[in-house]
Each structure stands twice: as C-alpha cells, then as structure tokens.
Amino acid sequence: MPRAARVIIQEGDMSAEDLEIDLDAIQRRMDGAMNALKTEFASLRTGRASASIVDAISVDAYGQMTPINQLGTVNVPEPRMVVINVWDKAMIAKVEKAIRESGIGINPVSDGPLIRLPIPELNEERRKQLTKVAAGYAENAKVAIRNVRRDGMDQIKKAKSAGMGEDDQKMWSDEVQELTDKAIAGVDRALDTKQAEIMQV
C-alpha cells in the first residue's frame, strides 16, 4: 500500500499541496498522542518515588508554560521522597502551586531552594482515584487520535471533490481508519497496564 498520495487538480483554486494525503504524517501525530500519554502515566505515582512524577506538570514561568524539570533539578534521594532544587528562587511559590493543583495528591514542602515531595503510602481509595485520573488521560489521548483521523478524512474528502476516484477514496479511508483503530487499541492496552500497576499493593 502506498503511504502518501497527491491529487493534482486540473482546475480550481486549491493547490496540490492542500490535497496531499500522508499516512506517515498521520501515524507520527498519533504516535505523538501516545507518547504524551506515556509521559502523563509516568507522572502517576504507584507508591514509590520517581522523578517522572512531575514530568507532566508545567508552571507559568517567564510568560509561558514550562515543565518543572526545566526550572530545577529533580532528584529521588530516598524511596518515598522526590526533591526539586528550583534554580530561580522567584519560581519556588509557582512550582509549589502547580504541584498542588496538578491532582497528583502530594503536598509539597519548601525548604529554602528545595521543594520536598513526600510520597505517602497509597490506600485503596487513593489507588481508585488514580485509576480514574489514568482513564481521563487515556480519554484525552483518544480524543487527540480521533482529531488526527478527522484531519486525514477531511484531506481525503477534498481529494475526492478534486477528482479522486471512489476506489482510491475507500482505500485511503480504510488506511486512516486502520491507523486509528491500532492507536486506540494501544491506548486501551497502556491504560489496562497502568491501572493494574496502580492497584497492585
């Protein structure tokens, strides 16, 4: 199967560029949604400290949203403690606020330029809450994947109106749908794995 097609228009005001159907680009965008999901899943704690717990948290710093790991050094000095050494003292309060509002369920403690994140034991209620957070992350990833699918289908519709044949239209639509189904199945598998990890005592 070809991975890209370009429909050349003989007439009309749309350029050939508008009608390029590139499955590799669609695949890359869907992979991007999955990679973002993996980052978010890594931020969900499972009872042990991990530097990745703050990977998905951004801070309003210097006029733009900036990941915490770009504002300080994140270390794990012991199994139940994450320590962030914030480089700019003016950012400490903002980093603390972002952590509190992130929904990860950890209360940051300031100690000079350091912010300590004590990781409490997870009780069953908290584990169930985290599985719901994970499900929300997975749903966001699915929405992103479906948006990529819609963009691909829109390109195919434009190509059809510009002269693409019915058979070609069906072939490209099937290809885009197949990529979508695979990506959604990947999200479901990742969610099942993460939820099982969270619930494991």
48-118 CATH: 3.30.1360.40
Buried residues in 156-176 as b, exposed as e (16+ CB within 10 A): bebbbebebeeebbebbbebb
* pLDDT per residue as tens, the chain (201 positions): 456 655 443 334 444 444 567 889 999 999 999 999 998 888 776 666 777 888 888 898 888 999 998 999 999 988 788 999 999 998 999 999 998 888 777 889 988 889 999 887 778 888 888 899 899 999 999 999 999 999 999 988 888 888 888 888 899 999 999 999 999 999 999 999 999 988 875
Q: What is the distance between the alpha carbons of residues 117 and 2, in angstroms, rounded to a whole number?
A: 51
CB atoms within 10 A of CB 100: 13
CA distances from 85 to 51, 58, 114, 123, 199 (A): 12, 16, 5, 29, 31
Quick check: pTM over 0.85? no
Q: What is the distance between the alpha carbons of residues 74 and 87, in angstroms, rounded to a whole number?
A: 11
**H or E element that contains 72:** strand 72-78
End-to-end CA, the chain: 47
- Find, among 58, 56, 36, 66, the residue nearest to 140 by Cα: 36
Q: Which fold has domain 4-39+124-199?
A: Topoisomerase I; Chain A, domain 4 (1.10.132)
- Find, among 27, 33, 51, 52, the residue nearest to 41 by Cα: 52
Q: Where are the domains of the chain?
A: 4-39+124-199, 48-118
